[in-house]
């Protein structure tokens, strides 16, 4: 078995959301320099990819220009009173794990994480600080991405 890929829950959901929006292949991000494209392509190409859920810097974050001394130093806007991306990410990832009934350091396949998200995830409770129209679009794209990811496989 391959080594599990450390990933923040929201990064996984972002990959599936973008897939649902129509993205079929991720390309390198020159602005940030993170590995979203590499991890995204692995997950899209292998539904049995083993993931290691984390609240800390994951394999996407590590090469990013905003990842310094093990933390994200980027800022966020329109996230309630949060301005630290590190703090904001921990808040949404903690809420996501709790809502899905999962734990930090848990190993799970990409397909199983999708199945659980389809059944249990309520994006309006996770991203309640974000603008409603953005969250409506997030939910729609995420649902599309999950359905597309399963490609006819039963999810229950």
Tens of pLDDT along 46-101? 999 999 999 999 999 999 999 999 999 999 988 888 999 999 999 999 999 999 99
Instruction: Decide if 155 is inside a domain.
Output: no
The DSSP string of 76-114 is EEEETTEEEHHHHHHHHHHHHHHHHT--TT-EEEHHHHH
Instruction: Decide if 31 is inside a domain.
Output: yes
Q: 109-147 pLDDT, tens per residue?
A: 999 999 999 999 999 999 998 999 999 999 999 999 999
Instruction: Decide if 156 is inside a domain.
Output: no
- The confidence score (pLDDT) of residue 29 equals 84
Q: For residue 41, what are the domain limits? A: 5-150
Find out whether 54 and 113 touch, Cβ atoms under 8 Å: no
Count the domains in the chain: 1
The CA distance from 85 to 87, in Å, is: 5
């Amino acid at each position: 078995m391959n080594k599990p890929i450390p990933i923040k829950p929201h990064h996984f959901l972002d990959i599936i959301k973008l897939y649902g929006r129509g993205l079929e292949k991720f390309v390198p991000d020159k602005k940030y320099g993170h590995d979203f494209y590499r991890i995204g392509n692995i997950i899209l190409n292998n539904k049995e990819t083993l993931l290691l859920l984390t609240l800390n810097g994951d394999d996407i974050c590590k090469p990013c220009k905003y990842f310094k001394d093990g933390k994200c130093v980027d800022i966020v806007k329109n996230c309630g009173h949060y301005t630290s991306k590190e703090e904001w990410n921990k808040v949404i990832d903690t809420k996501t794990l709790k809502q899905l009934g999962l734990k930090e350091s848990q190993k799970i396949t990409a397909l199983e994480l999708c199945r659980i998200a389809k059944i249990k995830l309520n994006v309006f409770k996770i991203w309640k600080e974000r603008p409603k129209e953005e969250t409506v679009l997030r939910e729609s794209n995420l649902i599309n991405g999950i359905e597309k990811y399963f490609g006819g496989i039963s999810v229950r």
